[in-house]
Chains A and B, each alone.
Chain A
Amino acid sequence: MTTRREFVKGLIISVGGASALSACGDAATIIATATEEGGQFYSSDEMALVSRISDLIIPRTETPGALDANVPGYLDALMSDWASAETQNYHREALKLISGQLDARSGEFLTASEPEAIAALSELDREAFEGGNNLDGYRSFKGYITQSYFATELGATEELKWVAVPGVWDPSVKIATGN
């Protein structure tokens, strides 16, 4: 089956790449943050939790994952420089709640085995999207993780095949199915 990614890749080649006028320049500098250290906003415990959850939600597959794209560092900067005190507070409380719920499901989430951690987070995720357990804070956190990932150069180019200058508008592109 042709995945959309392969198919979009084909298209980029067919329109001759992103053209000479495509965007260029230095990628935004993200403060590289080792997962065991605190950041400008996150404490070291929070950073560990944020890193673990980001990695489980967007793992490295054949394309880079959230940690490869330094999503935790991105979120740390987002919280310290973009968020208001109110949002910071809300996010911090959400992390506490998430941490408590994950621990309750897996013993100690951060030291749980991979399958245990996945099971705990999957369950929490499902409940959140079914609207249960006051988990709006989780949904918004997941939104930040995902959006941040796609806003990084790796996420945008490797995963979404973002094209700076499409050059044409094609309103009807068939996605090939089958082999």
Chain B
Amino acid sequence: MAEAEFDAIVVGSGMSGGMSAKELCERGLKVLVLERGPEIVPERDYTDLLAPWESDHLDNVSQDEINERYYKQYGGVAYAIKESTKHFWVRDDEHPYEEAEGTSYDWLRGYHTAGRSIMWSRQTYRLGPQDFTANLEEGVGVDWPVRYEDIVPWYEKVETFVGVSGSEEGLDQLPDSVFQPAFELTDAEKSFKQKIEKTFDGRSVIPARIAHLTDATKEQLSLGRSNCQARNRCHHGCTFKAYFSSLNATLPAAKRSGNLTMVHNAIVRGLEYDTSTKRVSGVRVVDAETMEARTYTSRVVFLNASAIASAMILLQSKSESFPKGLANRSDQVGRNLMDHVSSAGVAGIMTGFEDQTVFGRRPSGGIYIPRYANITEKNKPFKRGFGFQGGARPLGNSSGQIAGIGKDFKEAHKRPGPWRFNVLAFGEQLPNPENRVTLHASRKDRWGNPVPVFNVSYGENERIMQREAVKDAQAMMEAAGCINITTSSANLSKPGNRIHEMGTARMGRDPATSVLNGWAQAHDVPNLFVTDGAFMTSSACQNPSLTYMAFSARAANYAADLISEGIF
């Protein structure tokens, strides 16, 4: 084999790719990051400094444009797609996909430097020991080939770098991270916490853990990052680099090592396989703008294009050795597609706090209620469990939906208004091989790549779990003394809508039933690693990005070890 151009190629510059690239670069390896989207330049493309009046039309994207270009994205995540942020989202007309009859799927995403780490909501939680053993204990899916203890040092390393604000709680099922100070709870939230913890033995209410700097370290300051300014403009990017994104943190760290090469507009469409070495020998790309085809070579390849896109790259890489797609001897690539599942949000008014308000706009989060189902409360009529996100804030009145006209109406907007508490469950989805993404047999996108076809639906366990979660939420609202408790539509969230898609190249112990080993290394192709959500053997119920990054850092260091041992 000719000398490889790079030590490592990382496909995708998002949450997981940024971490893979940083760790590989910091180990002294020459790394090429291939990113299918255009470059985001913070000074030019972040819009967080725009004042409300600097955007026209209430910052809404025009309705015709939504209907023509953002029908899926806006349908799924309207709150984050504004005129001043739409450049962070894919245009559905340019990036179509199909859904099997009778199903629907939300594939919500952005193609550009740093991927969805620019637009995420920054909730950051570790998985717990129970999450790595549940499949084995219940005979569901396949067993994780690793245990919580294997990942702990990598969680610690990643958290220290990323910056996570949160509080030490000592909970077994939701282990503490390395924390910077938490955003303090509001008094209404403290009252809720006290009542819930008293009424429901084994439940706790804790401050949301979010990837925001509240006590920046030297390392973070040296990357030009500073503490969060409580503006809640994070979906616009952050000029203060106060929340974690690849562009605010990992990519600059990779760059300053001097080992990073980054190429934008490079759509990876397949991996070449060398039958004599039994390794990936090249990464084939098409240029998004010029349509030029190129092949890059490296000793190891990391797929970090996100769970669905990485599975598609493998499925597109067919050869005589791998007729069903590269590393797909088990036929598990594209299968077991999971997300988290929600149903109704429950809200209520908390009285007794009318004489107070807040200052500053707390970004993301408020409270989190860690999983208790089948942990401290056994024998639920469903498997696994859910965590609740929520919080309390003064309702305010700027939407004009109160009665009255004239001076009184105007004055009403200056009062903070009653306090509203809301909670929403995020539940675990069980792996099911029938929930899958495949390549369309004939339909191609404008770059000649097959469009994906989704066939995903929820099962009985998700339905029963969410029914119970809503009941629990209502009971907690009542116990906290809320009035006017309302429950939004009880439909399950669409698959994909929680934007935690994962599982499409699962890890396992047996190459016959899984794609990757415990290092996120392909069983059948030793120089290929997949460290985005595709590796997840089960979904747990915690927001997953921290876990993707911990596994990415671990795999990158393992690959670097193998390179230094001369194996690649």
- Give A82 to B403 CA distance when docked, in angstroms: 26
The answer to whether the Cβ of B64 comes within 8 Å of any Cβ in the partner chain is yes
B362 contacts partner chain A, Cβ-Cβ < 8 Å: yes
- With A23-B50, A27-B53, A83-B63 known to touch, is A171 a contact of B414 (CB < 8 Å)? no
B414 and A159 form a contact (CB under 8 A):
yes
Q: Assuming A82-B63, A173-B359, is B410 touching A61 (CB within 8 A)?
A: yes
Cβ of A97 < 8 Å from any Cβ of B? no
Q: In the complex the two chains form, is A171's CB within 8 Å of B358's CB?
A: yes
Identity of the chain B residue whose Cβ is nearest the Cβ of A12 in the assembled complex: B359
Q: Given A56-B406, A125-B405, A143-B400, does the pair A174, B355 have CB atoms closer than 8 Å? A: yes
Q: Is the CB of B406 within 8 A of A166?
A: no
Contact status of A129 and B403, CB under 8 A, knowing A25-B54, A166-B230, A166-B231: yes
Docked pose: A162 CA to B414 CA in angstroms: 11
Mark contacts of B175-193 with chain A using CB atoms, 8 A cut-off: 1 yes-contact digit, 0 otherwise.
0000000011111010000
Give the secondary structure class of B's interface: loop
Asked if A164 and B355 make an inter-chain contact with CB atoms under 8 angstroms apart, the answer reads no
> Least Cβ distance of A71 to chain B in Å?
11
Residues of the A chain whose Cβ atoms lie less than 8 Å from the Cβ of B416: 4, 175
Interface size class of chain A, counting residues whose CB lies under 8 Å from the partner chain: 35 or more
CB <8 Å contact, A162 and B184:
no
**Contact residues in B for A13 (Cβ distance below 8 Å):** none
A-facing residues in B270-305 (Cβ within 8 Å) = none
Task: List residues of chain A with CB under 8 Å of any chain B CB.
Answer: 3-5, 8, 11, 19, 21-28, 56-59, 61, 63, 77-78, 81-84, 86-87, 118, 121-122, 125-126, 128-129, 139, 142-148, 150-153, 156, 159-160, 162, 164-175, 177
A160 contacts B398, CB within 8 Å?
yes
Q: Residue on B with the closest CB to A141? A: B400
How long is the Cα–Cα vector from A25 to B402 in the complex, in angstroms? 33
Q: What is the number of contacts between chain A and chain B, taking CB atoms within 8 Å?
A: 168
A142 to chain B minimum Cβ distance, whole angstroms, is 5
Asked if residues A28 and B53 are in contact (CB atoms below 8 Å), the reply is: yes
Task: Please provide the chain B residues from 181 to 228 with a CB less than 8 Å away from any CB of chain A in the complex.
Answer: 183-187, 189
CA distance A62 to B55 in the complex (A): 26
Evaluate contact between B359 and A143: CB separation under 8 angstroms.
no
Chain A residues with CB below 8 A from B402, complex form? 129
Q: Is A81's CB under 8 angstroms from B358's CB?
A: no
Contacts of B359 in A (CB 8 A): 8, 11, 166, 168-170, 173
Q: In whole angstroms, how far apart are the Cα atoms of A8 and B416 in the complex?
A: 11
Give the residues in chain A near B44, CB-CB below 8 Å.
none
Chain B, Cβ-Cβ closest to A162: B52
Judged by a CB distance under 8 angstroms, whether B513 is at the interface is: no
Whole-angstrom distance between the Cβ of B417 and the nearest chain A Cβ: 10
Contact assessment for B414 and A5 in the assembled complex, using a CB-CB cutoff below 8 Å: yes
Q: How far is the CA of A160 from the CA of B62 in the complex (A)?
A: 26
B362 to chain A, nearest CB (A): 5
Q: A residues within 8 A CB of B184?
A: 169, 171-172
Q: Which residues of A contact B54 (CB under 8 A)?
A: 23, 25-28
